[in-house]
Amino acid sequence: MLLSLVLHTYSMRYLLPSVLLLGSAPTYLLAWTLWRVLSALMPARLYQRVDDRLYCVYQNMVLFFFENYTGVQILLYGDLPKNKENVIYLANHQSTVDWIVADMLAARQDALGHVRYVLKDKLKWLPLYGFYFAQHGGIYVKRSAKFNDKEMRSKLQSYVNAGTPMYLVIFPEGTRYNATYTKLLSASQAFAAQRGLAVLKHVLTPRIKATHVAFDSMKSHLDAIYDVTVVYEGNEKGSGKYSNPPSMTEFLCKQCPKLHIHFDRIDRNEVPEEQEHMKKWLHERFEIKDRLLIEFYDSPDPERRNKFPGKSVHSRLSVKKTLPSVLILGSLTAVMLMTESGRKLYMGTCLYGTLLGCLWFVIKA
């Protein structure tokens, strides 16, 4: 019985982070709405600068739980620039935590507020979050034939014209890789083989549309491409056989003791502009990722297994940088919930914020 209690307590480690992260979302949206109204007649760049700072506050709270609270050891391979840059971030996609990994790297460059995502279209219906991500510069896209390149190009060009700092996160695979989803992997490999491309084992065949539109729209604004390869250690079960990467809940339950991040910076001048050439280039980058992952999981040399080639640095994010956000948003939420009028405002934001956000997307469609 005692063992059952311990195991149950361990499995509930995600509860506190979930309550604070989700519970403070209405508070955050209210703060953003107030700023949006106050800044209506102010210069757009001033609005954007403060919005980026607000976004830092919330995302630093996210990082407090996903880094400081979990105690995950982050091993960084490659030289991450210390200065801020306008970039497109390309990474392999295997877990919902992948979005947080992008935040982790951006925070180490003091560029957390500049992170903007290219997201699946259905995610725009997420209560509160879906609407706000669009306001912060996120772009929702549909897959394959339904992909609207004109809409994406128009949005990105507006950000370039406004001088908006960009840390644009794209997962070119389009969906999460999972070794147990054999039909998805087989279809991806067949797609590559039919087009004369290298067949990949530990990643899916990348799609070019979003990456090409992003690069073509922002090439005058960009400094570089960040090519990132991620492994969640703790999921291997022998050579080439490992369980699913952790979900956000599992990650918060400390089921990932180490996070390996391989980083490669590619200057924008090294990236081909023409779509077919870029398609070949992107696939070659994913071939490199695949070789890194094969080496990590399947190397015949035990000394080279469970790590990327080269020297790694144990990168830590100071709790002094993240804890204040937890205290600020947690306190504001608690104060609001202490009074009847505050509770009504809080619940009204949850309800009407969600409904108005959905209505906004319907009108924009």
26-43 pLDDT, tens digit per residue, is 999 999 999 999 999 899
Determine the average pLDDT of the residues in 223-230.
Answer: 98
**pLDDT value for 243:** 59
Can you give the pTM of this predicted structure? 0.93
> What was the pLDDT predicted at 300?
86
Q: What is the pLDDT of residue 182?
A: 85
Burial class (CB in 10 A: 0-12, 13-18, 19+), 219: middle
Residue 301 pLDDT class (50, 70, 90 cuts)? confident
- What angle separates helix 15-23 from helix 44-63, to the nearest 10 degrees? 170
pLDDT (mean) for 240-268: 86
Taking residue 320's Cβ as centre, other Cβ atoms within 10 Å add up to 8
pLDDT at res. 10 = 53
Residue 7: the pLDDT is 42
Predicted local distance difference test score (pLDDT) of residue 217: 95
For the chain, strand residue ranges (E) read 73-77, 87-91, 115-120, 139-141, 167-170, 224-233, 258-267, 312-315
Question: What is the percent of the chain with per-residue pLDDT over 70, rounded to a whole number?
Answer: 94
In SS3 terms, 345-361 reads as HHHHHHHHHHHHHHHHH
| Contact assessment for residue 141 and residue 147, using Cβ atoms and an 8 Å cutoff | yes
Whether the per-residue pLDDT at 239 is higher than 60: the answer is no
Which of the two residues, 102 and 15, has the higher pLDDT score? 102
- Report the mean per-residue pLDDT for the chain: 91
- Is 264 a residue whose pLDDT tops 80? yes
Q: What is the pLDDT of residue 11?
A: 58
Is the Cα torsion angle 288, 293, 298, 303 positive or negative in sign?
A: positive
Domain ranges of the chain: 1-364
